[in-house]
C-alpha cells in the first residue's frame, strides 16, 4: 500500500509537470521522457538509496550487547617451580583463589629445569580456568614476569624466537602456550621475592618441592 500511494503521487506530479513544460516551452506535445529529463536535471538527487531495513536505536544496540556480556570473575593465582639441578627432577605447584574458593595442584617432571617448572606452573594454573577471567598472577620468577611485562616476548617473536645474542629462545613451547592463554584471559602479572615469608608463595613453594621429592608417586 505504501509503494502504491507513492507511485500515484509520483504520476500525478509528472502529469502536472507536463502541462507546465508545455506552457514554458510552447511545445504542443510532451512525453513522459521529456518530463523525466527535466525533473532529473532540476530535482536534488537523493543522498542514499531507499533503506528498507528496520531501524535499531543506539539504546537498543547497547542493551543487546550488554545482555550478551558476562562479568569476568576476578581470580588470583600464585605459582612456583622447583628443580634439583643435580638430578634434573622438578616440580611445580599453584594456588587458585576465587572469592572464598581455593584450589591447589602440583606436578612432577623427571628431567627439567627450574625455569621450565616456573613456566609450567603458570601454564597449568591458567589452563585450569574453565572460562575467561580477570587474573592477577603472582610469581617469584623474574624470568617469567619480565618476559611479559618488560617486552622480552615481543622482541623474541620479532627476532624469529631468537635472543638479543642471536641464540634460540629456550622453552619456546611453553612460551607459546602462555601467549595463547594470555589472549584468553585479562592477565596481570606481579612479582614477589621467594622465601621471604609471603604466605601464598610459601604454600606453592612447598607444593612444588613436595612434588619434586615425591616424583611420580601419588
Known catalytic residues are 80-81, 118, 140, 195, 205
Phi and psi at residue 133, to the nearest 5°: -135, 165
Work out the number of other CB atoms within 10 angstroms of the CB of residue 144.
24
Tell me which H or E stretch contains 67.
Answer: helix 58-68
Q: Nearest Cα to 39, choosing from 53, 70, 18, 64?
A: 18
Pair 179, 166: CB distance under 8 Å: no
Q: 155: number of CA atoms within 13 Å, CB side?
A: 13
Q: In what order do the strands lie in the sheet with 90-98?
A: 101-109, 90-98, 73-83, 133-139, 186-191
Amino acid at each position: 500500500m505504501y509503494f502504491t500511494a507513492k507511485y500515484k503521487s509520483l504520476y500525478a506530479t509528472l502529469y502536472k509537470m507536463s502541462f507546465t513544460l508545455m506552457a514554458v516551452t510552447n511545445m504542443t506535445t510532451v512525453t513522459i521522457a521529456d518530463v523525466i529529463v527535466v525533473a532529473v536535471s532540476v530535482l536534488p538527487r537523493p543522498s542514499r538509496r531507499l533503506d528498507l531495513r528496520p531501524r535499531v536505536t543506539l539504546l537498543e544496540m547497547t542493551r543487546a550487547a550488554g545482555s550478551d556480556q558476562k562479568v569476568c570473575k576476578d581470580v588470583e593465582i600464585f605459582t612456583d617451580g622447583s628443580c634439583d639441578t643435580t638430578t634434573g627432577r622438578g616440580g611445580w605447584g599453584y594456588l587458585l583463589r576465587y572469592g572464598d574458593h581455593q584450589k591447589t595442584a602440583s606436578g612432577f617432571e623427571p628431567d627439567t629445569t627450574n625455569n621450565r617448572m616456573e613456566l609450567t606452573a603458570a601454564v597449568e594454573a591458567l589452563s585450569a580456568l574453565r572460562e575467561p577471567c580477570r587474573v592477577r598472577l603472582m610469581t617469584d620468577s623474574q624470568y617469567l614476569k619480565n618476559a611479559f611485562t618488560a617486552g622480552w616476548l615481543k622482541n623474541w617473536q620479532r627476532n624469529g624466537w631468537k635472543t638479543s645474542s642471536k641464540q634460540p629462545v629456550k622453552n619456546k613451547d611453553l612460551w607459546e602456550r602462555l601467549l595463547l592463554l594470555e589472549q584468553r584471559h585479562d592477565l596481570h602479572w606481579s612479582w614477589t621475592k621467594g622465601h621471604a615469608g609471603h604466605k601464598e608463595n610459601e604454600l606453592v613453594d612447598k607444593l612444588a618441592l613436595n612434588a619434586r621429592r615425591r616424583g611420580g608417586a601419588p
